[in-house]
């Protein structure tokens, strides 16, 4: 069967099974499962403000962390650290954006954005160097770095970047935001226009991901390293260098995510636990089968699921159901290829 | 002086859950299965244990029941982890990530369902048997570490666990059932993680909240690496981490404010990274098949 069709079937059935089990849990706990779908609708197309929240705060950053995880995974690296790279980039972007003078043509926002990307990239460089030269598995290191980023970020919000209240940071001035703040005509179109810069940046990122992975020698080489490190080495690929470059790019995606998020939402709050863009990035990378366009559509869907939490709570359904479903969707999309190949192997042996 | 006593007792109380979960991780990882899901197994353990203790409060067997239930809950998800990683050969990291995500959400979901709040009610502190400020479960943990030392190093089963983790092909050739040993080890690790989860509630707060665990499972992974996967070293490693954590807590309330508390928050993680770098220079042959699913056909 066609590879892409197979991937699409696996992704779609993962979503269906995830939602089905979610509904089952809702029924077992005495809630109406239809509320889930109603909430998803209400928090996406139901209202203009919800639409903005869904696209700008839930989906766009998620696409970028998804690309980050997927890019690293193509090279056989598991970037659990997207969360930390997102976090550290957010806080540094904020620091730059609140301290920089207002420049014309969103100059301040773009400077902050570039700094954020570099910071995310450098945060990812630590596990990359350790993996390439000390052969240390990236997972443990990135988990540790996530927590360091988490505590540092909270600390900076509480001290140097403290705003009006104890738990929120200073606010970025409107001219240093990426969003346009146009005269609102209260329609979906004006909302889209308002966030046109983040949307364009994200679409360019999706294209860049696709182009690097599918159209360049570099992309071919990192995939080779991902399949087999030693085989790639014997084929003359400098696998250490590729690992480091891959992580730098992966970190840049996560950093861009944090920067765009911060430069749209204007201020950050002290967190009780991780925001989750990095972890949900794992979900969309898996669901999108590590494919740029797949990540884009998966993010729209999982972004809708995670923003529906508030609407669910309003309907007396516990919001955690959305996280449970997201977890199940990762599980099924990772299991899909395994089950598929088992199934087709059995068929193959029968034919012999 | 008071502060020093507080620091020492606090270190022991805080170290206990780290050591218990790290012991769990030790069984799993020595058998060759990475267990990132410790955090999640602790969460579900903490929640189910606390729930049972709230329901059967003020009875002579409250704590026992709570611990038992926590272990069982941890084991349930560990069984899932073993099934996904050993039988289906799924990526062990992804399995762990899923378990962490689902257990936390599920615990809060169920908590809201049972208690109409994301926090369980307090169970009475009388249920905890206190021996001079370090309660009994903390002592259990140290005993368990010593027992684990003997089990892993001096029993036939322990030898099998090590063999399966080191060289599953050779172990299989000697007639050891690789899958069976890995299942047993992973499920045992779930029991330890569940136990660690309920210790968090017993030693620190007498209830379950969404942030009860928040990161303790990952610190336990760090303890495991810091202790170089040796049971007795884990005691030392866990105490070090407990010490820093307690130092951070005390620094927030007392007069050593000139050191920002964030230093104590991030220090354990920085130390872990440094230790991993140091440890990695010596080749660790006994953990060679860690994270790799065993495929008989590739022998």
Tell me the per-residue pLDDT of A68-88, one tens digit each, with 9 for 90 and over: 999 999 998 999 999 999 999
Highest mean pLDDT among A224-228, B176-180, B288-292: B176-180
Which 273-312 residues of chain A touch chain B by CB within 8 A? 273, 279, 282, 286
At residue B149, the pLDDT reads 95
Is the pLDDT at A120 greater than 60, yes or no? yes
Q: Mean pLDDT across the stretch A337-349?
A: 73
- pLDDT of A350 higher than 50: no
Query: Is the CB of A147 less than 8 angstroms away from the CB of B276?
Result: no
DSSP state of B87: I
A320–B108 CB contact, under 8 Å: yes
B132 has a pLDDT exceeding 50 = no
DSSP code, position B125: G
A144–B269 C-beta distance less than 8 A: yes
Which pLDDT does position B131 carry in this prediction?
46
Query: CA-CA-CA-CA torsion for B125, B129, B134, B140, nearest 10 degrees?
Result: -120
Number of H helices, E strands in chain A: 15, 0
User: From CA A250, how far away is CA A71, in angstroms rounded?
Assistant: 6
CA-based nearest residue to A83, from B238, B252, B100, B153: B100
Within 8 A of A151 by CB-CB distance, chain B residues are: 262, 265-266
d(CA A46, CA B8): 56
CA of A171, closest CA in chain B: separation in Å? 23
| Average confidence score pLDDT of chain B | 85
pLDDT, tens digit (0-9, with 9 covering 90-100), for B145-169: 999 999 999 999 999 999 999 888 8
Q: Which residue of B has its CA nearest to A340?
A: B88
Would you state the structure tokens that stand for residue B263, as one six-digit string?
A: 């230093």
pLDDT of residue A135 exceeding 60, the answer is: yes
CA dihedral A77, A78, A83, A89 (to 10 degrees): 0
Question: How many angstroms from the chain centroid is the CA of residue A236?
Answer: 33
Which one of A233-237, A284-288, B54-58 scores highest in mean pLDDT?
A284-288
- Would you call B109 an interface residue with chain A, using a CB distance cutoff of 8 Å? yes
Smallest CA–CA distance, residue B34 to chain A, in Å, is: 11
How confident is residue A106, by pLDDT bands cut at 50, 70 and 90?
A: confident
B44 interface with A at CB cutoff 8 Å: no
Chain A residues with CB under 8 Å of B84 CB are 331, 335
Q: Which residues of B touch A159 (CB under 8 A)?
A: 260
Rounded to whole angstroms, the Cα distance separating A33 from A20 reads 9
* Dist CA A69 CA A279 (whole Å): 9
pLDDT tens digits for range B73-116: 999 999 999 999 999 999 898 999 999 999 999 999 999 888 88
For A276-286, write each residue's pLDDT tens digit.
898 899 999 99
Residues of chain A numbered 52-81 and touching chain B (CB < 8 Å): 78, 80
pLDDT in tens, B178-232: 999 999 999 999 999 999 999 988 877 778 888 888 888 988 988 888 888 899 9
What percentage of residues in chain A have a pLDDT greater than 70?
Answer: 96
Note the pLDDT tens digit of each residue in A11-61: 999 999 999 999 999 999 888 888 889 888 988 888 888 888 888 889 999
Chain centroid, CA A118 distance in Å? 17
Per-residue pLDDT, A347: 57
Closest CA to B280 of A132, A44, A277: A132
Mean pLDDT of B12-39: 93
Lowest mean pLDDT among A164-168, A270-274, B78-82, B129-133: B129-133
Question: How high is the pLDDT of residue A351?
Answer: 43
Cβ-based neighbours of B109, under 8 Å, separated by 6 or more? A25, A29, A318, A320, A321, A324
Q: What is the pTM of this model?
A: 0.89
**Alpha carbon separation from A253 to A69, A89, A248, A267 (Å, rounded):** 9, 10, 9, 21
Whose CA is closest to B262, among A152, A147, A169, A83?
A152
Residue of A134, A151, A326 lying closest to B266 (CB–CB): A151
C-alpha count within 13 angstroms, C-beta hemisphere, residue B179: 10
Instruction: Enter the tokens of residue A286.
Output: 């898996």
Residue A31: its pLDDT value, please?
83
Band (B138; pLDDT cuts 50, 70, 90): confident
């Amino acid at each position: 069967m066609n590879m892409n069709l197979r991937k699409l079937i696996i992704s779609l059935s993962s979503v269906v099974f995830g939602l089905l089990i979610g509904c089952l849990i809702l029924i077992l706990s005495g809630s109406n499962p239809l509320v889930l779908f109603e909430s998803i609708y209400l928090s996406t197309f139901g209202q203009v403000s919800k639409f903005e929240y869904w696209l700008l705060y839930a989906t766009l950053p998620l696409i970028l962390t998804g690309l980050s995880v997927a890019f690293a995974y193509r090279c056989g690296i598991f970037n659990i650290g997207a969360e930390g790279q997102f976090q550290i980039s957010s806080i540094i972007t904020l620091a730059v954006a609140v301290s920089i003078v207002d420049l014309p043509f969103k100059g301040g926002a773009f400077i902050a954005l570039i700094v954020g990307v570099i910071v995310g990239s450098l945060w990812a460089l630590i596990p990359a160097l350790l993996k390439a030269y000390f052969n240390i598995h990236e997972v443990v290191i990135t988990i540790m770095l996530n927590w360091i980023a988490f505590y540092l970020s909270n600390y900076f919000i509480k001290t140097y970047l403290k705003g009006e209240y104890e738990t929120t940071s200073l606010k970025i001035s409107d001219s240093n935001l990426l969003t346009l703040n146009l005269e609102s005509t209260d329609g979906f179109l004006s909302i889209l226009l308002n966030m046109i810069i983040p949307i364009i940046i994200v679409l360019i990122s999706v294209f860049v991901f696709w182009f690097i992975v599918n159209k360049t020698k570099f992309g071919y080489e990192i995939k080779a390293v991902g399949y087999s490190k030693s085989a790639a080495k014997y084929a003359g690929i400098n696998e250490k260098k590729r690992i480091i470059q891959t992580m730098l790019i992966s970190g840049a995606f996560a950093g861009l995510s944090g920067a765009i998020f911060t430069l749209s939402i204007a201020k950050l709050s002290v967190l009780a636990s991780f925001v989750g863009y990095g972890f949900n990035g794992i979900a969309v990378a898996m669901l999108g089968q590590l494919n740029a366009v797949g990540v884009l559509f998966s993010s729209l869907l999982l972004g809708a699921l995670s923003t529906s939490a508030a609407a669910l709570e309003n309907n007396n359904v516990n919001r955690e159901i959305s996280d449970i479903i997201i977890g199940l969707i990762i599980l099924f999309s990772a299991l899909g290829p395994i089950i598929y190949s088992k199934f087709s192997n059995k068929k193959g042996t029968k034919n012999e | 002086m008071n502060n020093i006593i507080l620091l020492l007792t606090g270190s022991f109380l805080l170290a206990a859950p780290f050591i218990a979960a790290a012991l769990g991780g030790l069984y799993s990882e020595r058998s060759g299965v990475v267990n990132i899901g410790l955090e999640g197994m602790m969460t579900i353990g903490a929640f189910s244990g606390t729930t049972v203790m709230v329901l059967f409060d003020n009875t002579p067997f409250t704590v026992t029941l709570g611990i038992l239930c926590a272990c069982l809950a941890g084991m349930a998800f560990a069984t899932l982890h073993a099934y996904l990683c050993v039988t289906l050969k799924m990526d062990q990291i992804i399995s762990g990530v899923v378990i962490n995500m689902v257990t936390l959400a599920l615990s809060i979901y169920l908590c809201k369902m049972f208690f109409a709040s994301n926090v369980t009610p307090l169970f009475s502190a009388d249920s905890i048997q206190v021996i001079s400020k370090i309660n009994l479960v903390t002592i259990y943990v140290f005993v368990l570490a010593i027992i684990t030392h003997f089990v892993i190093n001096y029993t036939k089963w322990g030898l099998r666990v090590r063999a399966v983790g080191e060289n599953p092909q050779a172990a299989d050739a000697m007639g050891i059932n690789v899958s069976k040993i890995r299942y047993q080890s992973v499920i045992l690790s779930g029991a330890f993680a569940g136990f660690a989860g309920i210790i968090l509630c017993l030693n620190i707060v007498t209830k379950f909240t969404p942030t009860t665990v928040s990161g303790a499972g990952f610190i336990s992974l760090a303890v495991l690496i810091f202790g170089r996967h040796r049971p007795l070293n884990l005691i030392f490693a866990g105490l070090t981490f407990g010490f820093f954590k307690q130092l951070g807590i005390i620094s927030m309330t007392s007069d050593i404010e000139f050191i920002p508390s964030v230093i104590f928050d991030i220090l354990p993680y920085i130390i872990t990274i440094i230790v991993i770098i140091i440890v990695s220079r010596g080749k660790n042959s006994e953990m060679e098949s860690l994270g790799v699913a065993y495929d008989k056909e590739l022998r």
